């Protein structure tokens, strides 16, 4: 069976790499979705951080699927929650420093949503959760760490990449690697096989 090229409604190099490493043919397409506007519209409602990840993933997948009829679209999004607080990607290195100070010595939750859409309709949705326990971090160490890793700290909601030096920030992780990187790959692959999009 000739593998179908699936559209990834994301420009994340991490999500694309995960899918390509799994043997999928992927075409990335940037979704035309204002994530902050979606999140602001949800403020004051009783949606939690897991719901927000799924809603954003769905908004991206459905928007791209309307522009590419007949194609399978994967949308993904990730939120980080510490208690009731939801974190966003830091805007600058000072924001990254504040993120790491807030997360230091605590357990936060990464919520990774994934959605399959086709022809403007959601076909399947899923959220996986990872619980991340950061070791207590000395503020001076945080400064040195951010100076070493540079702007890559601004590319994730937690200001870290566990696939790189960010792993040194943690003392315990409960959850699978794919959820942490931002795409719950095992349930996604299972659904693609069930739908006969990929070879089973």
Task: Supply the DSSP symbol for 4.
Answer: P
How much is the pLDDT for 197?
A: 93
Mean pLDDT estimate for the chain: 93
pLDDT of 12 higher than 90: no
pLDDT of 1 higher than 60: no
pLDDT of 2 higher than 70: no
| Average of per-residue pLDDT across 27-37 | 89
pTM: 0.88
Of the ranges 87-96, 118-127, 191-200, which is most confident? Answer: 118-127
Q: Match domain 5-194 to its CATH number in 3.40.50.300, 3.90.1150.10, 3.90.950.10, 3.40.50.10800.
A: 3.90.950.10
Of the ranges 44-53, 118-127, 177-186, which is most confident? Answer: 118-127
Question: How buried is 124 (Cβ within 10 angstroms: 0-12 exposed, 13-18 middle, 19+ buried)?
Answer: middle
Contacts of 78 (CB under 8 A, 6+ apart): 53, 110, 111, 112, 113, 156, 157, 182
| Average of per-residue pLDDT across 5-14 | 91
Show which residues are catalytic: 77
Please report, for the chain, the start and end positions of each structural domain, with discontinuous segments joined by +. 5-194
Work out whether strand 121-134 and strand 170-174 pair parallel, antiparallel, or are unpaired. antiparallel
pLDDT of 183 higher than 60: yes
The distance from CA 5 to its chain's CA centroid, rounded to whole angstroms, is 21
């Amino acid at each position: 069976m000739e593998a179908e090229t699936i559209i990834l409604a994301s420009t994340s190099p991490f999500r694309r790499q995960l899918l390509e490493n799994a043997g999928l043919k992927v075409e990335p397409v940037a979704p035309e979705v204002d994530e902050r506007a979606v999140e602001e519209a949800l403020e004051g409602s009783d949606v939690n951080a897991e719901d927000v990840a799924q809603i954003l993933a769905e908004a991206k997948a459905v928007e791209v699927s309307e522009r590419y009829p007949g194609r399978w679209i994967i949308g993904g999004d990730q939120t980080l929650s510490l208690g009731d607080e939801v974190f966003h990607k830091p805007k600058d290195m000072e924001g990254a420093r504040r993120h790491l100070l807030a997360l230091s010595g605590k357990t936060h939750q990464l919520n990774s949503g994934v959605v399959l859409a086709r022809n403007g309709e959601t076909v399947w949705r899923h959220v996986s959760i990872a619980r991340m326990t950061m070791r207590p971090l000395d503020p001076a160490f945080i400064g040195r760490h951010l100076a070493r890793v540079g702007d890559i700290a601004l590319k994730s909601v937690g200001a870290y990449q566990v696939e790189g030096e960010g792993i040194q920030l943690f003392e315990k992780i409960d959850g699978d690697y794919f959820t942490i990187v931002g795409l719950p790959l095992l349930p996604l692959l299972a659904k693609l096989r069930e739908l006969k999009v990929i070879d089973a």
